[in-house]
């Protein structure tokens, strides 16, 4: 009787476990080596949040901040940390995306659909192969967050005291933008080179 | 006294709080109404509709251009691959992409639609005007409108304006309250000092003075208090002096009477003894009698002086020309002290004084005589007159050795002498006479290096 109950429970949990596995797969990183650089790819990862897409459709640009960390073990201390910023914009009439990477070198591509824009952004996040351990496994953590700060051009510039006070008191409390985290591994540089 | 301050503050609170509440209520009502007009919901709908219309128009323009290009209805510009290096950037960008065709907005403000098509390795570009519609400007307008909408959605303007209004009104009110407390303190402090000063004065501390501030009613009240206290102090000093003098006079009168009673029989008895003596004893007795009579005469002079000191002749107050009296006294005494230099500095237009002329003459005679005796041959005496604080002031300065601290302290007390001749009653009588005339006599810093005296007399008509 007990065995049947346990089997029933396991059967009931199976869809949930499968969903978790699918989500984990969707969120996983698939790095590849091209030349001396490690590129990141995650075909099912959706970077742009609903808020970001709303801002883009309002004609504003949206900046995403990325932090790529290489670790020797899962949840270990990062050996290398790299920071990137990608700027997304939306063509109102063509209804296509444009994405540009600010640093380390400016790169830009336009007339993209959402998936292409997101993947192009991800692939532009590169890690020099020289900083990776040649024969030891490593983990990659990608943390990203929409940069919610308005550009100085767009911000209010009330100079009078009443204006400043109205600005302060009329603000609605906004939820802080969450930091999304994707962690994958272990990888070996040799395996990645072979996979190429 | 804190009650005045508290009352002022309470009056301010009572006078301001109700109007303030009414004002805030009126302003928030008006604000509510004005915010009701300034809705952004219409802007939200309008901008969304504008975008839909623009996009629709753009799609139509694209389709039309594509059809016209396919039908060869419009001219195209050919970009040969061989000259790719000279191509404009947008054509080269299209070539490098993998797209089979591309539409792009160009021209001033986005008033033109370009259609890029690959023809082998070459690129053909068809162009069509958007009939005056500037798509880039439209984008800018839409972006601004959406930004306003988004900002409005991110804010609660009603709350912002109302809170700001309340905060600012409260701040202004608090600043006013602080200012009022400061003013209340400032106003009540002199009143408090005045009350404390009056209490001190009532307790007999006539030297109490208050620091006067400002020329307002309070300042004038403080000045009047200080003046009254000063006059009270001076009056009390004079009264005390006159009382002392009266005591001394009574004592002198009694002493003179007793001495006179004894001296007359002594003198008569000595003269009788001398008359009855035989001729043989006369030389010695005559000499002894002369000594006794001389001493008796000396004692009689002193008795006369005491009598004069104690006598109180009637006062004859009247208008007197002080400058004339000074000049007359100097002229009168100058021959007696030909080796002393006299000088006068008399104020022009000096008003008449109200005093007893004989007593003033007596006072000046005493001062000038004392000065001449103190300064000696070759010395200088200066007599000055002026009006200060509504009183006539006469100053007598000498170039003598001046007075010691001890002498300054007991100068006007009777029976003290600093001269070879006289009883030392002169200055006491002089001050008493000055006081009887409504003035005073006091010692001041001498301008010639010696002593200096100041006689104060009331101006005639200044009762």
Q: What is the DSSP string of A75-137?
A: T--EEEEEEEEEEEEE-TTT--EEEEE-SSS-EEEEEE-HHHHHHHHHHT-EEEGGGS-SSS-
Chain A hits for B38, CB-CB cut-off 8 Å, are none
Q: In the predicted model, what is the mean pLDDT of residues B310-314?
A: 75
The predicted structure's pLDDT at residue B420: 47
Q: Is A3 a residue whose pLDDT tops 70?
A: no
pLDDT of residue B256: 76
Interface residue A172 vs chain B (CB under 8 A):
yes
Q: Which residue of A has its CA nearest to B159?
A: A170
pLDDT the model gives residue A87: 93
Average pLDDT over residues B380-408: 90
Question: Any chain B CB within 8 A of the CB of A95?
Answer: yes
Alpha-carbon gap, residue B302 to B191, rounded angstroms: 57
Per the CB < 8 Å rule, is B154 touching A171?
yes
Q: Taking residues B148-162, what's their average pLDDT? A: 84
ipTM of the prediction: 0.75
> Between B58, B154, B156, which is nearest A93 by CB?
B58
Are B156 and A170 in contact by the 8 Å Cβ rule? The answer is yes
A154 to B147: CB separation less than 8 angstroms, yes or no: yes
Average pLDDT over residues A160-169: 83
The two three-digit tokens of residue B379, written as one number: 């010395």
**Could you tell me which of A65, A50, A86, A57 has the C-alpha nearest to residue A148?**
A65
Residues, chain A, total?
Answer: 196
Average pLDDT, chain B: 85
Cβ distance of B97 and A162 shorter than 8 Å = no
Q: Do the chains contact at B147 and A59, CB–CB below 8 Å?
A: yes
DSSP-assigned letters across all residues of B202-218: HTT-TT------SSSHH
| Overall average pLDDT of the B35-43 stretch | 75
Please choose, from the candidates B318, B323, B304, the residue with its C-alpha nearest in 3D space to the C-alpha of residue B364.
B323
pLDDT at B326 over 90: yes
DSSP class of residue A139 equals E
**Chain mean position to CA B65:** 89
> How many beta-carbon contacts under 8 Å exist across A and B?
66
Mean pLDDT of B379-406: 91
* pLDDT for res B416: 43
pLDDT above 60: residue B113: yes
- Nearest to residue A131, comparing CAs of A83, A71, A191, A66? A71
The minimal CB distance from B55 to the residues A92, A156, A174 is found for A92
State whether residue B51 sits within 8 Å of chain A by CB. yes
The structure tokens 């303190």 sit at: B185
Q: In the predicted model, is pLDDT for residue B406 greater than 70?
A: yes
The model's confidence at residue A12, banded by pLDDT at 50, 70 and 90, is low
φ and ψ of B454, to 5 deg: -125, 125
- pTM summary value: 0.53
Span B329-370, pLDDT tens digits: 999 888 888 889 999 999 988 899 999 998 999 899 989 988
Per-residue confidence (pLDDT) for residue B1, from 0 to 100:
54
Does domain A26-151+178-195 bear CATH number 3.40.50?
Answer: no
Buried/exposed code over B442-456 (b: 16+ C-beta within 10 A; e: otherwise): bbeebebebbbbbbb
Q: How confident is the model at residue A150 (pLDDT cuts 50, 70, 90)?
A: low
Query: Between B99, B156, B161, which is nearest A172 by CB?
Result: B156
pLDDT single digits (tens) B241-291 = 888 878 877 777 787 777 777 888 888 888 888 788 787 777 778 888 888
Least confidently predicted of A31-35, A98-102, A155-159, B297-301:
A155-159
CA separation for the pair B353, B329 (Å, rounded): 16
Quick one: pLDDT at residue A154? Answer: 45
Contact B109, B134 (CB under 8 A): yes
Task: Let me know: does B76 contact B116? Beta carbons within 8 Å.
Answer: no
Question: In this predicted model, which residue has the larger pLDDT, B230 or A12?
Answer: B230
Q: Which residues of B touch A92 (CB under 8 A)?
A: 51, 54-55, 139, 142
Q: How far apart are CA A190 and CA B428, in angstroms?
A: 128
Q: Please check the confidence at residue B180 and state whether its pLDDT lies above 50.
A: yes
The C-alpha atoms of residue B73 and residue B285 are separated, in whole angstroms, by: 177
- DSSP state for residue A44 in the 8-state scheme: T
pLDDT of residue B405: 84
B210 and A CB contact within 8 Å = no
At B382, list the tokens: 């200066």
Percent of chain B with pLDDT over 70: 96
* Residues 225-284 (B) with a CB less than 8 A from some CB of A: none
More confident position, B293 or A12 = B293
Report the top-level CATH class of B318-458. alpha beta
**pLDDT greater at residue B319 or residue B257:** B319
Tokens describing residue B317: 């107050």
| CA of A109 vs chain B CAs: smallest distance (Å) | 10
């Amino acid at each position: 009787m007990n065995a049947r109950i346990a089997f029933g429970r396991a059967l009931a949990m199976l869809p949930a476990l499968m969903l978790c596995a699918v989500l984990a797969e969707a969120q996983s990183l698939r790095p590849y080596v091209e030349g001396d650089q490690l590129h990141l790819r995650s075909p099912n990862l959706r970077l742009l949040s609903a808020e970001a897409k709303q801002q883009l459709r309002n004609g504003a640009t949206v900046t995403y901040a990325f932090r790529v960390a290489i670790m020797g073990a899962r949840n270990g201390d990062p050996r290398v940390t790299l920071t990137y910023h990608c700027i997304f914009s939306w063509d109102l009439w063509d209804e296509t995306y444009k994405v540009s990477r600010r640093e380390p070198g400016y790169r830009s591509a336009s007339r993209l659909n959402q998936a292409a824009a997101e993947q192009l952004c991800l692939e532009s996040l590169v890690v020099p192969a020289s900083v990776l351990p040649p024969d030891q496994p490593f983990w990659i953590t990608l943390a990203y967050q929409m940069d919610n700060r308005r550009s100085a051009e767009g911000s209010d510039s009330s100079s009078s005291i009443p204006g400043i006070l109205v600005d302060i008191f009329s603000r609605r409390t906004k939820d802080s933008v969450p930091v999304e985290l994707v962690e994958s591994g272990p990888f070996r540089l040799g395996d990645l080179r072979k996979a190429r | 006294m804190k009650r005045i301050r508290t009352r002022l503050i309470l009056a301010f609170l009572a006078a301001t709080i109700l109007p303030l509440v009414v004002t805030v209520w009126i302003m928030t009502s008006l604000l509510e109404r004005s915010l009701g007009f300034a809705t952004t919901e219409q802007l939200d709908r309008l901008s969304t509709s504008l975008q839909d219309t623009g996009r629709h128009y753009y799609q139509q323009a694209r389709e039309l251009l594509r059809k016209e290009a396919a039908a060869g209805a419009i001219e195209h510009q050919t970009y040969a691959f061989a000259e790719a290096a000279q191509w404009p950037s947008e054509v080269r960008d299209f070539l490098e992409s993998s797209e089979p065709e591309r539409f792009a907005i160009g021209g001033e403000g986005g008033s033109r639609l370009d259609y890029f098509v690959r023809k082998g390795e070459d690129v053909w570009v068809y162009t069509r005007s958007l009939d005056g519609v500037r798509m880039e400007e439209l984008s800018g307008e839409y972006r601004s409108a959406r930004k306003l909408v988004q900002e409005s959605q991110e804010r609660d303007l009603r709350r912002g304006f109302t809170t700001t209004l309340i905060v600012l009104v409260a701040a202004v009110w608090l600043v006013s309250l602080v200012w009022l407390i400061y003013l209340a303190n400032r106003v009540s402090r002199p009143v408090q000092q005045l009350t404390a000063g009056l209490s001190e004065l009532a307790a007999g501390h006539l030297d109490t003075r208050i620091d006067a501030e400002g020329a307002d009613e309070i300042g004038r009240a403080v000045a009047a208090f200080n003046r009254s206290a000063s006059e009270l102090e001076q009056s009390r000093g004079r009264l005390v002096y006159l009382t002392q003098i009266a005591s001394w006079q009574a004592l002198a009168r009694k002493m003179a009477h007793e001495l006179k009673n004894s001296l007359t029989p002594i003198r008569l008895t000595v003269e009788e003894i001398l008359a009855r003596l035989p001729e043989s004893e006369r030389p010695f007795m005559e000499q002894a009698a002369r000594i006794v009579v001389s001493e008796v005469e000396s004692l009689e002079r002193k008795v006369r002086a005491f009598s004069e000191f104690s006598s109180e002749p009637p006062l004859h107050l009247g208008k007197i020309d002080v400058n004339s009296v000074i000049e007359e006294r100097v002229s009168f005494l100058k021959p007696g002290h030909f080796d002393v230099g006299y000088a006068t500095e008399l104020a022009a237009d000096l008003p008449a004084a109200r005093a007893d002329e004989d007593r003033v003459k007596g006072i000046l005679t005493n001062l000038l005589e004392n000065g001449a005796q103190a300064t000696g041959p070759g010395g200088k005496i200066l007599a000055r007159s002026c009006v200060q604080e509504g009183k006539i002031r006469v100053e007598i300065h000498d170039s003598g050795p001046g007075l010691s601290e001890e002498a300054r302290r007991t100068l006007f007390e009777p029976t003290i002498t600093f001269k070879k001749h006289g009883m030392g009653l002169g200055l006491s009588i002089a001050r008493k006479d000055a006081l009887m005339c409504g003035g005073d006599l006091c010692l001041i810093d001498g301008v010639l290096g010696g002593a200096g005296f100041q006689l104060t007399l009331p101006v005639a008509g200044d009762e």
